[in-house]
Structure 1
Amino acid sequence: MTSYTSQLTTLFVVVVLVCALVPAFSVVEGETKTLWDTCFLKITPKSALDIIGIVFGNRTITDVCCHDLVGEGKVCHDVLIKYISDRPHLVANETQYLKKRDDLWTHCVSVTKTA
């Protein structure tokens, strides 16, 4: 239960930080809310944390999270990861993060096709 609470707290912090930085988003402001409403809400908090942990850390993904990710859609996945990787403290490794993003997408598409 503590791990779940910790994950929810982490997700909440990520959401608050992203919301605070939304004006800096590279997409037109009206599109930002649309992307947020249509993309982020399609995925479970656990899967969102796992995806962020995979791209920006060393976590692993489950088949369930892969299905969530593919259900979210490639445009949503690309835009949200690009948005996070554009942060000043992450931008130095942006190329690496974008490659991990694309590798994760390819992996998840293959998982969903075999299931």
Structure 2
Amino acid sequence: MAKFTSQIAMLFIVVALVCAFVPVFSVDESEAKSLWDTCLVKISPHCALDIIAVVFGNATINDSCCHDLVQEGKVCHDNLIKYIADRPALIARETLYLKKRDDLWSHCVAISKTA
């Protein structure tokens, strides 16, 4: 059962990434390109998936990815999560996702300060 739940979670992450970054789904293609060029290049794909899994699922994040997130910056983090949360399939729970985004940021800042 845990394997099935894990597979569903990974499927959700992949679908969220596709919806967020494929231009046909985006509201403004230039906005997606700008986010990619300025923000996503600052963080590893592994950590980006972990961050999405934390905000849009029930995953946890490791200290290394927390450091990457803080280096990426709050503006990038806020904008990327908001951009994904604005997708039609996710908009109904946007408030929850934005709270989880802010909680993750606070957690990672605290982790980064202790290192």
Q: Tell me the equivalent position of 2:34.
A: 34
Q: TM-score, normalised by structure 2?
A: 0.79
Superposed structure 1 runs of 4+ greater than 6 Å apart: none
Does residue 88 of structure 2 align to residue 92 of structure 1? no
Partners of 2:93 and 2:18 in 1: CA distance:
21
Q: Report the identity percentage.
A: 61
Q: Which runs of 5+ in 1 are unaligned?
A: 1-6
Q: Tell me the equivalent position of 1:67.
A: 67
Indicate the RMSD between aligned Cα atoms, in angstroms. 2.4
Q: Tell me the equivalent position of 1:14.
A: 17
Partners of 1:11 and 1:114 in 2: CA distance:
32
Q: TM-score, normalised by structure 1?
A: 0.79
Look up the equivalent residue of 1:67 and give its one-letter code: H
Aligned residues: 104
